[in-house]
C-alpha cells in the first residue's frame, strides 16, 4: 500500500555520522545539514531510498524523547493526506499527526506497538526536481564503493501486528537488516557502520 521513502537514524552528531557513511560507501548526500527548531538532519542518497541522520529536540511533536541508532521507517504518502488517513483507518491502524510544517507532515503509525517507528511522510512541495537530482547523482557514483543497486527489502526485529505488515509490506526478522541488489558479483554485509542496522549488498 505504501512505499519506503527513507530510514531514520538518531545520532548525537548528524553531520559526523552522515559524513562517515557517505565517505565509506562512496555515496552522495541526499540533502545538506538542515537545522530546524525541532531537529538537525542530513541525508545520504542510497539510490532507491535515502537514509537520514537526525538529532531530535522534538520527536514527532513530543519533547524529551530520543533513541540511538536506527529508529524510524518513513513511507511516502503519495495520495492526499486525507486519503492516506482513510487507508490507515481501513486497515484498522492507530495513528496521529506527529509533525506539521511547511515542508512536510508526518503521521506515526502504531507507535505504541512497533519500534523502529513506522510513519508516513507527506511532502508539501513538488519533489520532482529533487528526485531527479538524486537519481542523477546516484547514477554518477555508480552505486558507490560497494556497487549498491536497487533496494530489495527491509526486515525488522520487532513484533508487528498483521495489519501493519500487510499495509506497509515490512518483513519481521531476527535482526534489523536492509538489503540492496549488487551491480557486480560482489556480496558484502556491513554491520558496524549504523547502530542497530545491518546493510547487505548482494
Average pLDDT over residues 29-52: 96
pLDDT at 30 over 90: yes
pLDDT at 1 over 80: no
What is the percent of the chain with per-residue pLDDT over 90, rounded to a whole number? 77
Q: Is residue 107 included in any domain, yes or no?
A: yes
pLDDT at 59: 95
In a 3-state reduction of DSSP, which class is residue 170? Answer: coil
Strand-pair category, 197-201 with 177-182: parallel
pLDDT at 185: 78
Torsional sign, CA 149, 155, 156, 162: positive
pLDDT at 126: 87
CB-based contacts of 157, cutoff 8 Å, min separation 6: 172, 173, 174, 175, 176
pLDDT at 101: 83
Q: Is residue 191 included in any domain, yes or no?
A: no
Q: Is residue 158 included in any domain, yes or no?
A: no
Q: Is residue 182 included in any domain, yes or no?
A: no
Average pLDDT over residues 111-140: 93
The number of distinct structural domains making up the chain is 1
> Model-level pTM?
0.94
Least confident of 96-105, 136-145, 149-158: 96-105
Q: Which CATH number goes with the domain that contains 98?
A: 3.10.180.10
**How many CB atoms are located within 10 Å of the residue 187 CB?**
11
Q: Is residue 177 included in any domain, yes or no?
A: no
> What's the burial of 36, exposed, middle or buried (CB within 10 Å: 0-12/13-18/19+)?
middle
Could you list the beta-strand ranges (E) of 89-187. Answer: 99-100, 104-109, 117-123, 148-156, 171-172, 177-182
Report the mean per-residue pLDDT for the chain: 93
Q: Is residue 33 included in any domain, yes or no?
A: yes
Domain of residue 69, residue span? 3-143
Q: Is residue 181 included in any domain, yes or no?
A: no
Q: Is residue 184 included in any domain, yes or no?
A: no
pLDDT at 154: 94
Amino acid at each position: 500500500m505504501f512505499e519506503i521513502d527513507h530510514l531514520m537514524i538518531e545520532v548525537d552528531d548528524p553531520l559526523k555520522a552522515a559524513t562517515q557513511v557517505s565517505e565509506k560507501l562512496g555515496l552522495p548526500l541526499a540533502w545538506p545539514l538542515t537545522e530546524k527548531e525541532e531537529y538537525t538532519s542530513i541525508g545520504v542518497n542510497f539510490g532507491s531510498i535515502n537514509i537520514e541522520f537526525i538529532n531530535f529536540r522534538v520527536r514527532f511533536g513530543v519533547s524529551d524523547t530520543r533513541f540511538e541508532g536506527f529508529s524510524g521507517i518513513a513511507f511516502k504518502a503519495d495520495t492526499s493526506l486525507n486519503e492516506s488517513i482513510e487507508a490507515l483507518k481501513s486497515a484498522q491502524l492507530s495513528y496521529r499527526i506527529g509533525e506539521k510544517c511547511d515542508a512536510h507532515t508526518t503521521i506515526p503509525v502504531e507507535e505504541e506497538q512497533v519500534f523502529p517507528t513506522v510513519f508516513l511522510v507527506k511532502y508539501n512541495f513538488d519533489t520532482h526536481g529533487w528526485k531527479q537530482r538524486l537519481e542523477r547523482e546516484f547514477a554518477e557514483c555508480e552505486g558507490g564503493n560497494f556497487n549498491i543497486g536497487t533496494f530489495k527489502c527491509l526486515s525488522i526485529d520487532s513484533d508487528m501486528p498483521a495489519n501493519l505488515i500487510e499495509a506497509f509490506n515490512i518483513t519481521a526478522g531476527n535482526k534489523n537488516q536492509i538489503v540492496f541488489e549488487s551491480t557486480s558479483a560482489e556480496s558484502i554485509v556491513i554491520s558496524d557502520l549504523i547502530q542497530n542496522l545491518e546493510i547487505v549488498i548482494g
